[in-house]
Chain A
Amino acid sequence: TQLLEQSPQFLSIQEGENLTVYCNSSSVFSSLQWYRQEPGEGPVLLVTVVTGGEVKKLKRLTFQFGDARKDSSLHITAAQPGDTGLYLCAGVRNTDKLIFGTGTRLQVFP
């Protein structure tokens, strides 16, 4: 059962473009975390959202948690080649184990 679906699965864009990655579920999460993972490395935590409707900004990255706490989005403004990587959402439900999404692989070309 895919509890957290991310879309798109792959995204190739030019430097300077904007993009949005979606993380959707039919289940409610008590919190949701976004990670970025480079090949051969562990996921690196970007942000945690807890409250429904919450918006957090991290430089050019904007994260939003849905009002019903079932979905989240990551928006990147003016993407740069350094943003290239695998973006993962991961939710927490009743216990503290992370349930990871399917991932979005982003490639930003100069």
Chain B
Amino acid sequence: EPEVTQTPSHQVTQMGQEVILRCVPISNHLYFYWYRQILGQKVEFLVSFYNNEISEKSEIFDDQFSVERPDGSNFTLKIRSTKLEDSAMYFCASSVLGEQFFGPGTRLTVL
């Protein structure tokens, strides 16, 4: 059964460093998303992406964040200068008919 994959599973970085989180969505899906979940809190929407451009972004998704689909399979989330409060699980999701399927997540720890 096709699934969304994410790498790395765990990323530790120093505050102020740039990180790139990678996702491979399900192959025939057209819509892509990033969500995050701070420990003990709700899953929160960050950004949606369709047809090579951002469809919607939340207020969390400020100028430090960017997304890219560099080729036909990968979907990346970049955080330019990480802050302590960026520590969270980051989930990628993809959909084709409205139902969103999530990857296993990347745990980002900012020290």
Binding site for B on A (CB under 8 A): 31, 33, 35, 40-45, 48, 88, 90, 92, 95-103
Residues of B within 8 A of A (CB): 4, 31, 33, 35, 42-45, 48, 55-56, 58, 89, 91, 93, 95, 98-105, 107
- Bound together, the chains give a CA A35 to CA B48 distance in angstroms of 19
* Complex contact A100–B44 (CB within 8 A): yes
Q: Which of the residues A35, A40, A44, A96 comes within 8 Å of B98, measured between beta carbons?
A: A96
Which chain A residues border B55 with CB–CB below 8 Å?
A: 95-96
CB distance from B39 to the nearest CB of A (A): 11
How far is it, in angstroms, between the C-alpha of A4 and the C-alpha of B41 when the chains are bound? 13
Q: Please, how many angstroms separate the alpha-carbon atoms of A98 and B94 in the complex?
A: 12
Q: Is the CB of B104 within 8 A of A98?
A: no
Chain A: minimal CB distance from B36 (Å): 11
Q: Check A96/B31 contact, CB under 8 A, given A41-B104, A43-B91.
A: yes
- CB of B56 within 8 A of CB of A97, answer yes
Shortest Cβ distance from B2 into chain A, in angstroms?
A: 13
